Structure 1
């Protein structure tokens, strides 16, 4: 099926290329407003075609059109205008302001284009160029701070890693919270990377320079037509088409970018070196409670003598300057019979982490053809290959690959990587890894030198649509699309024993294939309803078929017989060879979308869709009750009150609209989960042919099958308003929503008495309430200079209404004894820990007697210590245009949301982080005292807190009760000694006795996310050089933080993975800023 579809698509594209040639005439012009101010960014199109151009910074344009053509000009805030060319070569056009505004056309569900003013729900559309200019490998990152209600967080893994993206709050208790991405009708997911290795998602294989627009559909009313797959929202990406022009147009762009670490992930102290009790000790491991580093000569663990000096940049020295190069070439052409566009992109990125590389090649073809007066067609195909090597494993990986963890837990502050990174120090005398007791921490350098993890991906997507126009009110549209992703992983690890042998050496290879295809048929009816009424009705049916399977997963066992020979047959023991089953899922659907408007002021949309999901279909003959059919409707309305009261409102009110919507969306689950008591080791025979699925395979007694699983349901209400003032110079858009998700499908742990470990059930009710606001304005606008500003903000509040009967909490995530929970009456992501402070009635921490290493410790207990979800998300964009210059500045903020830093926790316990300088000596506030051995010390410290009831000490043979006494009072009375820094910071951050609550912080930040400066050469120079355009731009991204609430400058965006419930880091990624230059030339 896929081969036939691909062949048909390619044949069509070949035909489309042949249709482009026709004589055209160059027309240049200037577009101004009624005050004579040039208007940049005006769309100028040849009527009835896709051919067009956009005015530059000085309001000029150049376009190739037929001599008798008519130009259609459109610009936000102005009335669309048609201008006949009549053989002229130069035009001066004046646009009039449009108080109605918002005639802007946006792409909505199922790819249908609608005027934004007629929509009863919130939609945000970005230009593809705004996404491409960021030079982000994964385009999701480019949306950060630009869309109200969209919460994006970076994830560890390097530039290609998939970030976390959540629209209008967490909606799922099973972790499925992220929106879908729809690229020319092909649906992709932003795959979660729950593990500590993030290779990114399929979007990194696509070329953002091919994007025409990016539309974010937030609410259920906006996404209802996409069915259960869009229950969490959708991001629509429409790619560029060819344009009508004389000859073939060619555009070339080249980007060179530098990536630089400008700060480590957490501030480290640079005054005291290795040791535990105020003296240097090369056997103290990663503890830095030694003496002050004074330049004296000391011996390392391997006997080498070196100066005992600070290494303030040692945590950054192991990173390199990252390099990014991206080349784009595109050619296009066309006439009134058809258009085409062909593009190629080559990207190569070496990140700041050594050995972490990403390379991509992407080919894309898009064509359209007016086959006859009745038939028109559009098709596209994309083919991409990529290779990712050794993604950064900082953030949460607990192995020797995590260099960030080494700096807070393994390496003391006098550690010199220039010494230990030499081969003679990490390779043993007879090969293999050096002894870690004499060559501490060198396992990192060993694996960096010899081990690798490589992922190769290939992606092919295609889409084809055929439109038949029966008459002026009836069209039939048929669409087909497909995608096929092939991923292969290869891991190579050499043994650590002598001669590079050992059971830990291995070779593995795995291959995963994902495929999907969709067929859609629609009838589009637009009857004439009279002078004041307009309406349309779309009726459609769709089938979606997907399959995913790990085709093979092979691994050596027991080590490699011959080191460095990476082949499955080189396994010492019998290799592990697996061929996993194919998981196939089918959703069949019917849908409708009806629109009605009255007098161009009242607008009503009603949609409905019914899905039949194979994932909720029980085999015939089983006890299961099939609930695979679910219907979800939506209704939305808008009232443009400025049209109703036209001429009656004050002049300073330019435009006003009220809107409201209600929608319900159903959700299913992954295939074969309804019979989770069973699994099959072979392919599900009959899945592809539509026959009944076999049930009798292998039984897993640890999972209880559910015989009556139902779809989850999301019900959403949204109301909003859009108002503009002062001739559209100031605008407000506000939306309030409430979403209730019920009947969620949860894999719930069961009691031991049940005889199973888990069961899928329908349970839970979760509510999100939120508000989104967009304020945009033009404070300054004159002939040569324009200043546009836009502020977006959102706030979402979540509440867990109920879970399952007898269940009041559900664990979402866990790290180091800190858990994220969903608790009835609480919110999604409440943080709790058994390693929190136990406090008295006045909120003071309780102190108890410990052991020999820590004579006193904080009493640990259970407490709610935070919540992971932010209170507010904000984005502020400023754009300044002066003649042909343009400057853009984006500031993005995340306010609230708590964060657990294991780096802070264990870096404190080891004395490596900057916060552990307090109390080290008199200069840092240490108390002078005489210890038990009679030694006078100046590093005494007094902890905050009071002694718990029942605490007793013996002083000069007399028992003293310390109940309720502060440590300070007990010290002043001579009952206790001051603590050493090791004891003081250990009771807070040591792995065994530390307090996790002490490392949970509000992760609020304000970031300078993006700054861009561009210059477009004027048309006079462009014409002289025989070009159509030439632009040079400089872009800086992730430039720094204007405010960071975390202590020790911890990276607030260093969450270990992109799960919605992720809240922690350990060995976080450093701060990296990107600076790039792009040259774009058009011929």
Structure 2
């Protein structure tokens, strides 16, 4: 009986299994995005089961499921989609920036559902960054994230840009967020030098970006510790995906950069001269002295130039633009990937060659990357990656007051008269003498520029090696352990070659300089991840961890010749005429040890609470006295209430989603090492040319800075409230955030008395506050089967105030250039512009005129500590994307409203008569007054300055009588016959002369609206692609920096031409011209 029962049971089970097998089938298909591009790594699951797979590199998949199954397709950043398992499927997933169920990357690489977060976060897809072809990722974010203020890089394709999240927070220009690439931390190092070689970020490969996440608030970044005091930008790179065989993707980008406009408008009517005449000593020659353009009208007259040759005295309207070339950008990227559900890999290689618009400026980069993951066992998995980059930068463009003769912009506003002919003066015989020395015509003929261009160079070679290893051990279904390690090793080598300017390249000016730096940093993190089961209504996670970070393990050196080169153009330190200068020192070492926790609790899938805490021990705050302040703890609290979940069925149907959020956080900050103690290192001094001997020396770190053994960490207190509400089935959404941040105990470097033997000292002082509001609006006005229109508008306003400094300190100077300063004063806003060269005004606001030693009169100068503010009032971004079948068209507008800048080009161009504003009043047609000057010459270029004479201003009239002009306007005095009009040289010199000019005259509101980006993309239909035995073909056309719809700056001054990327940067001087980029990218998948 028992045997019969067993036989029947086995037969029954066999029948069931057979029936089940007969009811299953293999479903296949392809998955694309709304632009027609294949999506790899999409998760496909049989609904209600764990049965699933992932799409391969060509978006293809196969899955065995019952015939009546429903498949669920999900992918990060895209709306999930369901489809019945019937026949070959062609699935299109739409991007869903409004779907808060998506998983985003947060601090320490933790993945969280965005709807559960109690703070603002913005994530961009990697394609949005890579399609811009920006070498530095900072530029690619411009206009796309609320609360972010970005300044474009100047100085060449390699140059680094500036990014500030939610306002400047530091009084020492330490305001840049960290960049975290697969866990490896990089700093966006900024520079206020005239030469911008960029920073380590230029060595990243944007083609490998999977996503870029911007963490703006302290609650979002607290787990990164003091390094993320100013926010963080997380870059997650592409990893391998499971697929059949090996997938290959090849992309090629060609981009041209066109110079379409000078950075300031120049006049093209008057050429070399001071007083509207040719040379007084030789009527056949030009008065070229000083580079002034107050000469006669240019009408093609044949006149002698600086070398004595006769040349046409003619306008050169394009001479500035003609000095530049069309920039060229070529980027090739090849990626291979494959694997199974147990392990994947991705190998990529890219080569970039970018020639800038400035002759001899070039940036080349080679990048290779390998990433792999493996499920080793049921309990252990691993993923690892290694990336190596080698790059070389040639001759960055010079900016600002760079007096080496290489700043072209400065040349054209301050040195070259408007009749300067670059095609003529660039001929070798015009800058190089027969004995190979530089022509004595010098700077005013551009000999120094052309000579340097031909014989001198400044290059930098860099290498960057990064790697990471992550091990995940699963102990139980509620306990995991994670061990992470990462490292980066940077190496730079600079080489500067300068030929002497004497006969056969001799002379003491020639020199050779080389320098370099090796820096290693590494981080090790251990973490326990606990997910206890608390019942139906509660969910909880707890992460406990410890971390150690070490940086500065390496060496830096600068070696240079002295007194010229013994053998011309032999560039070696041993070729120095005098004893070479040798400086070697170890890099500043720094270590931060940390412990941290992160706890999350959810109640009824609607209420979410996060609490984090971190304690850092910083070596930079370790003291010899034992009174250590190097340990500092900072917590964060954030919460969110998804009220549409709690009030489900009780709200109007138009509300699709709603969440309120709030957070409070503290973050500590330290400083560079060796500020609290005096450290020592061994150096050597090279004793002479050709000598191999050296003398070991003991040197002090930061010997000009007085150590302060009582420094404490600065602390940031940040409060944030926000709301995220969506309407009409997520087709209209509003995200609003308000924040307030106070950074207290600012670490300031202040000057001390000379008698102390040092120059400065660090102290704790100050309380700096930022308050602001951010708004992001997302909408889909049209959503049709074949056509979709998506738009995004983001805007932010930040108000910064210096709450207090410290006793005995009334102001702190943040920056200075050409007599204009940026200052911080207690009780006032950050970034106030001040100058001792301001206008003196009377009670009625009229400018005061006084006597002058150089001109008939000049404006009386006064110290003015409020001539503007560098902080913008509003940052805006507005993007639109139109999708029709396999086509997509998009554009991005970006605006900066408010914020002042000082234009030295306008200042000195006015004084030199080169800029367009100086054309007014040069003849009767443009408003000039007819008068007879002191030489008896009748002229029609008289000008009347705006202003009144100071008290006590007297003159002697024609009758010999003393006349008091106190309080009279210049025009009143002219009408009464007491004074004559000023010549253009005198009139414009009162405003813009280097010596007596008024800097306040050239401070302007730098508001603008820019057409930042236009893109057009097309994906070939699958039918055509498959005939060619390919998996995908896509073509993108992208235009960047196409022009300005509005520019508030006068005479076309470039509002984004601030000459360096420090937080307090405010001035431009001789910037590169306006350029636009046009690119085509072809991507083919095999």
The TM-score with structure 1 as length reference comes to 0.92
Q: Structure 2 CA distance, aligned partners of 1:512 and 1:419?
A: 42
Q: Does 1:353 align with 2:355?
A: no
Match of 2:260 in 1: 262
Q: SS at 2:945's partner residue?
A: coil
Q: Does 1:414 align with 2:419?
A: yes
Match of 2:838 in 1: 836
Match of 1:1006 in 2: 1009
Q: SS at 1:511's partner residue?
A: strand
Query: For the Cα contact (< 8 Å) 1:669–1:745, is it kept in 2?
Result: yes
Q: Structure 2 CA distance, aligned partners of 1:73 and 1:396?
A: 58
Match of 1:242 in 2: 240
User: CA separation of 1:53/1:1037 partners in 2, compared to 1, >3 Å: closer, same or farther?
Assistant: farther
Match of 2:5 in 1: none
Match of 1:207 in 2: 205
Q: Which string of whole-angstrom CA distances, capped at 9 and with x for unpartnered residues, describes residues 887-918 of structure 1? A: 11000011111100100000000000000000
1:552 shift after superposition: 2.5
User: CA separation of 1:40/1:947 partners in 2, compared to 1, >3 Å: closer, same or farther?
Assistant: farther
Q: Which string of whole-angstrom CA distances, capped at 9 and with x for unpartnered residues, describes residues 318-341 of structure 1? A: 100111000000000011110000
1:441 shift after superposition: 2.4
Q: SS at 1:147's partner residue?
A: coil
1:51 shift after superposition: 6.7
Q: SS at 1:727's partner residue?
A: coil
Q: Which string of whole-angstrom CA distances, capped at 9 and with x for unpartnered residues, describes residues 870-893 of structure 1? A: 111100000010111001100001
Q: SS at 1:467's partner residue?
A: strand
The aligned runs of 1:480-629 (5 Å cut-off) are 480-547=485-552, 549-619=554-624, 623=625, 625-629=627-631
Match of 1:226 in 2: 224
Q: Structure 1 CA distance, aligned partners of 2:62 and 2:907?
A: 67
1:804 shift after superposition: 1.9
1:102 shift after superposition: 1.1
Query: For the Cα contact (< 8 Å) 2:39–2:59, is it kept in 1?
Result: no
User: CA separation of 1:810/1:846 partners in 2, compared to 1, >3 Å: closer, same or farther?
Assistant: same
The aligned runs of 1:12-161 (5 Å cut-off) are 27-28=28-29, 44-47=42-45, 52=54, 62-68=59-65, 72-74=72-74, 80=80, 90-91=88-89, 101-161=99-159
User: CA separation of 1:80/1:295 partners in 2, compared to 1, >3 Å: closer, same or farther?
Assistant: closer
Q: Does 1:363 align with 2:374?
A: no
Q: Structure 2 CA distance, aligned partners of 1:670 and 1:701?
A: 14
Match of 2:406 in 1: 401
Q: Does 1:1049 align with 2:1052?
A: yes
Query: For the Cα contact (< 8 Å) 1:463–1:480, is it kept in 2?
Result: yes
Q: Does 1:279 align with 2:284?
A: no
Query: For the Cα contact (< 8 Å) 1:555–1:568, is it kept in 2?
Result: yes
User: CA separation of 1:380/1:437 partners in 2, compared to 1, >3 Å: closer, same or farther?
Assistant: closer
The aligned runs of 1:809-958 (5 Å cut-off) are 809-851=811-853, 853-863=854-864, 864-956=866-958, 957-958=960-961
Q: Which string of whole-angstrom CA distances, capped at 9 and with x for unpartnered residues, describes residues 271-324 of structure 1? A: 001000011333323100000001111110111111111000000111001110
Match of 1:193 in 2: 191
1:139 shift after superposition: 1.5
1:752 shift after superposition: 4.4
| The 10-residue stretch of structure 1 (71-80 or 141-150) with the greater mean CA deviation from structure 2 | 71-80
Question: Residue 658 of structure 2 is aligned with which of 656, 659, 667?
Answer: 656
Query: For the Cα contact (< 8 Å) 2:26–2:65, is it kept in 1?
Result: no
Q: Which string of whole-angstrom CA distances, capped at 9 and with x for unpartnered residues, describes residues 735-784 of structure 1? A: 00000000011111124465542111111110000110001101111121
Query: For the Cα contact (< 8 Å) 1:298–1:308, is it kept in 2?
Result: yes
1:370 shift after superposition: 0.7
Aligned residues: 1034
Q: Structure 1 CA distance, aligned partners of 2:701 and 2:789?
A: 67
Match of 1:723 in 2: 725
Q: Which string of whole-angstrom CA distances, capped at 9 and with x for unpartnered residues, describes residues 397-428 of structure 1? A: 23211111000011000010111111111112
Q: SS at 1:579's partner residue?
A: strand
| The 10-residue stretch of structure 1 (428-437 or 558-567) with the greater mean CA deviation from structure 2 | 428-437
Match of 2:779 in 1: 777
Q: Structure 1 CA distance, aligned partners of 2:91 and 2:1079?
A: 36
| The 10-residue stretch of structure 1 (475-484 or 956-965) with the greater mean CA deviation from structure 2 | 956-965
| The 10-residue stretch of structure 1 (623-632 or 93-102) with the greater mean CA deviation from structure 2 | 93-102
Match of 2:1073 in 1: 1070
Query: For the Cα contact (< 8 Å) 2:400–2:407, is it kept in 1?
Result: yes
Q: SS at 2:580's partner residue?
A: strand
Query: For the Cα contact (< 8 Å) 2:333–2:348, is it kept in 1?
Result: yes
Query: For the Cα contact (< 8 Å) 1:42–1:74, is it kept in 2?
Result: no
User: CA separation of 1:700/1:762 partners in 2, compared to 1, >3 Å: closer, same or farther?
Assistant: same
Query: For the Cα contact (< 8 Å) 2:32–2:59, is it kept in 1?
Result: no
| The 10-residue stretch of structure 1 (956-965 or 811-820) with the greater mean CA deviation from structure 2 | 956-965
1:436 shift after superposition: 2.6
| The 10-residue stretch of structure 1 (395-404 or 736-745) with the greater mean CA deviation from structure 2 | 395-404
User: CA separation of 1:50/1:570 partners in 2, compared to 1, >3 Å: closer, same or farther?
Assistant: farther
State which structure, 1 or 2, has the greater radius of gyration over its C-alpha atoms: 2
Query: For the Cα contact (< 8 Å) 1:259–1:1072, is it kept in 2?
Result: yes
1:828 shift after superposition: 1.4
Query: For the Cα contact (< 8 Å) 1:922–1:939, is it kept in 2?
Result: yes
Q: Structure 1 CA distance, aligned partners of 2:78 and 2:671?
A: 47
Q: Structure 1 CA distance, aligned partners of 2:1040 and 2:600?
A: 42
User: CA separation of 1:286/1:49 partners in 2, compared to 1, >3 Å: closer, same or farther?
Assistant: farther
Match of 2:741 in 1: 739
Match of 2:303 in 1: 298
Match of 1:329 in 2: 334
**Structure 2 alignment gaps of length 5 or more:** 1-24, 279-285, 685-696
Query: For the Cα contact (< 8 Å) 1:581–1:682, is it kept in 2?
Result: no
Q: Structure 1 CA distance, aligned partners of 2:355 and 2:96?
A: 49
User: CA separation of 1:94/1:895 partners in 2, compared to 1, >3 Å: closer, same or farther?
Assistant: closer
The aligned runs of 1:174-193 (5 Å cut-off) are 174-193=172-191
Q: Which string of whole-angstrom CA distances, capped at 9 and with x for unpartnered residues, describes residues 159-217 of structure 1? A: 11000111100001111100000000000001111211111111111111111000000
Q: Does 1:446 align with 2:451?
A: yes
Match of 1:963 in 2: 966
Q: Structure 2 CA distance, aligned partners of 1:1007 and 1:98?
A: 27
Q: Structure 2 CA distance, aligned partners of 1:411 and 1:96?
A: 56
Q: SS at 1:399's partner residue?
A: coil
1:394 shift after superposition: 2.6
Match of 2:12 in 1: none
Root mean square deviation, CA, Å: 2.5
User: CA separation of 1:784/1:83 partners in 2, compared to 1, >3 Å: closer, same or farther?
Assistant: closer
Q: Structure 2 CA distance, aligned partners of 1:39 and 1:453?
A: 43
Q: Which string of whole-angstrom CA distances, capped at 9 and with x for unpartnered residues, describes residues 445-464 of structure 1? A: 10010000010001100000
Q: SS at 1:227's partner residue?
A: helix
Q: Does 1:1026 align with 2:1024?
A: no
User: CA separation of 1:79/1:899 partners in 2, compared to 1, >3 Å: closer, same or farther?
Assistant: closer
Q: Which string of whole-angstrom CA distances, capped at 9 and with x for unpartnered residues, describes residues 696-728 of structure 1? A: 964977532211111000000000000111111
Q: Structure 2 CA distance, aligned partners of 1:296 and 1:279?
A: 13
Q: Structure 2 CA distance, aligned partners of 1:40 and 1:169?
A: 39
Match of 1:1061 in 2: 1064
Query: For the Cα contact (< 8 Å) 1:25–1:64, is it kept in 2?
Result: no
User: CA separation of 1:95/1:854 partners in 2, compared to 1, >3 Å: closer, same or farther?
Assistant: closer
The TM-score with structure 2 as length reference comes to 0.92
1:1020 shift after superposition: 2.0
Query: For the Cα contact (< 8 Å) 1:64–1:244, is it kept in 2?
Result: no
1:670 shift after superposition: 0.7
